[in-house]
Amino acid sequence: MSAEVDIKARLGDADSIVDRLPWRLGETEAQRKRSRGRVAALAHQVAALLAGGWGLAEVSAALADAPGAADAPDAGAQEKRWRAALKRAKSERRPAGDER
């Protein structure tokens, strides 16, 4: 039996974390629009983690541990690095023997 998580309730906290990241939004309106979509998508992933029991500091630390994210050439590359850092943190957080 799994408890339903309320992601929407955690979007405010997720937005505050994701908004502090050094995003490369682009120079054209089209680039900025795509970047805003990437920001929103990452915020939803962070909200899901927070709703699943992660702490604000834990998520922030995982995102800070994304090698090269700040220096990536664009928002897409940044998002990829931040998602990889969250995935790595999630796998390290999982208790031994948990095969989810």
pLDDT in tens, 26-77: 999 999 999 999 999 999 999 999 999 999 999 999 999 999 999 999 999 9
Please give the angle made by the CA atoms of 71, 75 and 79, to the nearest 5 degrees: 90
Residues in CB range of 56: below 8 A, 6 or more apart: 13, 17, 50
* DSSP designation for 73: S
pLDDT in tens, 9-18: 999 999 999 9
The closest alpha carbon to 83, from 20, 8, 4, 18, belongs to: 18
Structure confidence at residue 95 as a pLDDT band (50, 70, 90): low
57 in helix, strand or coil? helix
Question: How large is the average pLDDT for residues 83-94?
Answer: 92
Do 72 and 81 meet the contact criterion of CB atoms below 8 Å apart?
Answer: yes
Q: Give the predicted TM-score (pTM) of the model.
A: 0.87
Q: What is the Cα–Cα distance from 52 to 39, expressed in whole angstroms? A: 20
